[in-house]
Amino acid sequence: MRNPADLRYTETHEWVKAQPDGSVLVGITDFAQDALGDLVFIELPPVGKAFTAGQVIAVVESVKAASDIYAPISGSVTAVNDAVRDAPEKVNRDAYEAWLFRLQPQNSTDVSGLLDASAYQAKVDSEK
Amino acid sequence: MLKRTALFDLHRAAGAKMVDFGGWEMPLHYGSQIEEHLAVRASSGMFDVSHMRAIDVGGGDALEALRTLLANDAGRLVPGKALYSCMLRPDGGVLDDLIVYRLADDQAAYRLIVNAGTAEHDLAWMQHVRDERGFNAELRMRTDLALIAVQGPNARARLIRAVPRVGPIVEALGTFFAAALDDWFIARTGYTGEDGYEIALPSEQAAEFWRALAGADVAPCGLGARDTLRLEAGMNLYGAEMDETVTPLESGLAWTVDWDTPRAFIGRAALESQRANPRLRQLLGLKLLDRGVLRAHQVVATAHGPGEITSGTFGPTVGCSIALARLPAGVALHDEVSVTLRSGAAKALVCRPAFVRRGRVLG
């Protein structure tokens, strides 16, 4: 299972990709999509809403189970990926391509506090 | 250590995600359970169901034993015919649901196909009843057999393409009939709502058969697709829709109980008194009108009191969430009810407990 080196990760299996304009894209990892199975519904947050780190920000529902997605850092939602909401299977096909929402971070340094790829892999290994 | 079928290595080689299913290590899917489900409805798919068990019943009292043990009447079977039935406890609770076949070549012999989790218990119960009543009946659990299901509108053509020698038998086989070809047993039965076949064959021949089917473009399908297919088809799952604490009458299976003959099958008296109860619960279908997924054990609020979902899922062919639910008497088709999902209350429509037949979404 892939964990691209240019991303940051959370213990709850979200990935975060820093954008040139200071915003971040957020999705769920390959490990998460594999554990969930085929996704059938994705509930995305309203654009403009502010969240604190660790708050439930989205929900993904698979045939198997529903799972909360947590805000990786504090920030406001500036965009959501409508294409993924209409075709949740895109997340299963390529979890790192299928971003769920874009956040404008409250603090630009918060992302660097997240796990890097090898720390995330260690976390995944410990869950097996 | 989990039990494995003869096809374990082939499942792993095909990239299956394996899970513990009742003590067996079985394929959940080979990549996408939704794609596998859709492949069966559109074309064909194959399932390793070798965790299920055949119990062969022979001897002079074979039929009498089955007419005692089963709620449906095996006496109705002509040679080669199959029958779906429950096997009951004396209090009417369901021990298992199964298919009984009358073997065409030996008129006094029958084969039962029973569920994996209940097989040992079923056999012990049958032996107990046989011994207690003094029936002259042999009971043989066929652990030497593998079971493979081939399902879908193209199942017939592809089965024949994969194994040409079964052609004459398969071409002549009507729905819910079975026939033997050497040491293979081919039944035109299934658990998907599509046309298809279930084949019992010696375990050592299973891998070659599976490969031949794959060569004929039959897609391998796992337990995930098996569950969404059977639920769309309105077929019960033992352990979900029924168990020892409920009777067939509360599980949508009254149609499988044969009352017509004066046959004292085990559980008859209990069912007869339950039949008269106007408050008897009923098994019906639900379709979720909102986004979300209905799941087993969720509570259903109706105008006649609370009910409970017995099985729920997202139906890839119907395109929404569906469920089977045990509901109070008085609830009617087309009633709108409320289900408590994880996210809160959601509206569902009561419908017949069947959503798809032969690839077509119903009503």
Per-residue pLDDT of chain B (363 residues; tens, 9 = 90+): 899 999 999 999 999 999 999 999 999 999 999 999 999 999 999 999 999 999 999 999 999 999 999 999 999 999 999 999 999 999 999 999 999 999 977 678 999 999 999 999 999 999 999 999 999 999 999 999 999 999 999 999 999 999 999 999 999 999 999 999 999 999 999 999 999 999 999 999 999 999 999 999 999 999 999 999 999 999 999 999 999 999 999 999 999 999 998 899 999 999 999 999 999 999 999 999 889 999 999 999 999 999 999 999 999 999 999 999 999 999 999 999 999 998 899 999 999 999 999 889 997
Contact present, A102 and A26 (Cβ < 8 Å)? yes
**Per-residue pLDDT tens over the stretch B283-327:** 999 999 889 999 999 999 999 999 999 999 999 999 999 999 999
Q: What is the ipTM of this complex?
A: 0.91
Contact present, A88 and A39 (Cβ < 8 Å)? yes
d(CA B187, CA B200): 8
Residues of A with CB under 8 A from a CB of B: 34, 37-38, 40-41, 43, 59, 61, 63-64, 66, 89, 92
Q: Is B173 helix (H, G, I), strand (E, B) or coil?
A: coil
A90 forms beta bridges with none
Residues of A in contact with B342 (CB under 8 A): 66
What distance in Å separates residue B145's CA from the closest CA in chain A? 31
* Cα–Cα distances in angstroms (integers) from residue B328 to residues B55, B149, B270, B332, in the given order: 36, 36, 20, 10
What distance in Å separates residue B316's CA from the closest CA in chain A? 9
What distance in Å separates residue B352's CA from the closest CA in chain A? 22
| Residue A113 forms part of a structural domain | no
d(CA B238, CA B241): 6
pLDDT at A108 over 80: yes
Contact A38 B293 (CB under 8 A): no
Please report how the helices B62-69 and B119-133 are oriented relative to each other, as an axis angle in degrees rounded to 10. 110
pLDDT at residue A87, as a whole number: 96
| Residue A57 forms part of a structural domain | yes
* Cα–Cα distances in angstroms (integers) from residue A42 to residues A30, A58, A103, B120, in the given order: 16, 7, 17, 42
Contact A41 B342 (CB under 8 A): no
| Residue A124 forms part of a structural domain | no
Q: What is the mean pLDDT of residues A25-49?
A: 97
| Residue A50 forms part of a structural domain | yes
pLDDT at residue A81, as a whole number: 98
Cross-chain CB nearest to A41 (options B29, B32, B291): B291
With residue A73 as reference, give the H or E element that holds it: none
With residue A57 as reference, give the H or E element that holds it: strand A56-62
Residues of A in contact with B16 (CB under 8 A): none
| Residue A1 forms part of a structural domain | no
Q: What is the mean pLDDT of residues A93-115?
A: 96
pLDDT at residue A2, as a whole number: 83
Q: What is the mean pLDDT of residues A64-87?
A: 96
pLDDT at residue B363, as a whole number: 74
Q: What is the mean pLDDT of chain A?
A: 96
| Residue A121 forms part of a structural domain | no
Cross-chain CB nearest to B224 (options A37, A40, A61): A37
pTM of the shown model: 0.96
Contact present, B56 and B239 (Cβ < 8 Å)? no
Residues of B with CB under 8 A from a CB of A: 17, 28-29, 32-34, 224, 228, 291-293, 313-314, 342-343
Quick one: pLDDT band at residue A127, thresholds 50, 70, 90?
A: confident
Give the tokens for residue A33.
Answer: 């999509």
Contact A38 B342 (CB under 8 A): no
Residues of B in contact with A31 (CB under 8 A): none
d(CA B107, CA B102): 7
Give the tokens for residue B330.
Answer: 């008085």
- Spell out the residues 6+ positions from residue B73 whose beta carbon is closer than 8 angstroms to its own: B67, B83, B258, B260, B261, B263
Give long-range contacts, CB 8 A cutoff, 24+ apart: A114-119.
A114/A8, A114/A9, A114/A10, A114/A16, A114/A72, A114/A73, A115/A8, A115/A9, A115/A10, A115/A11, A116/A5, A116/A8, A116/A9, A117/A3, A117/A4, A117/A5, A117/A7, A117/A9, A119/A9
Domain with A32, as residue range(s), is 8-107
Q: Is B332 helix (H, G, I), strand (E, B) or coil?
A: coil
What distance in Å separates residue B192's CA from the closest CA in chain A? 17
pLDDT at residue B290, as a whole number: 87
- Spell out the residues 6+ positions from residue A71 whose beta carbon is closer than 8 angstroms to its own: A51, A52, A53, A54, A55, A56, A57, A103
Contact present, B143 and B125 (Cβ < 8 Å)? no
Cross-chain CB nearest to B33 (options A34, A37, A61): A37
Provide the domain count of chain A: 1
| Mutation site for B-interface testing, chosen from A61, A89, A92 by largest number of B Cβ within 10 Å | A61
- Spell out the residues 6+ positions from residue B284 whose beta carbon is closer than 8 angstroms to its own: B252, B324, B325, B327, B331, B333, B350, B351, B352, B353
pLDDT at residue A128, as a whole number: 75
- Looking at domain B278-361, its CATH architecture is Beta Barrel (2.40)
Contact A40 B342 (CB under 8 A): no
CATH of the domain at A73: 2.40.50.100
Amino acid identity of residue B156, one-letter, is: R
pLDDT at residue B108, as a whole number: 83
**Per-residue pLDDT tens over the stretch A50-74:** 999 999 999 999 999 999 999 999 9
Residues of A in contact with B231 (CB under 8 A): none
Rounded to 5°, angle at Cα B187 from B186 and B191: 130
Give the tokens for residue B38.
Answer: 């859709």
What distance in Å separates residue A8's CA from the closest CA in chain B? 26
Rounded to 5°, angle at Cα B3 from B88 and B183: 75
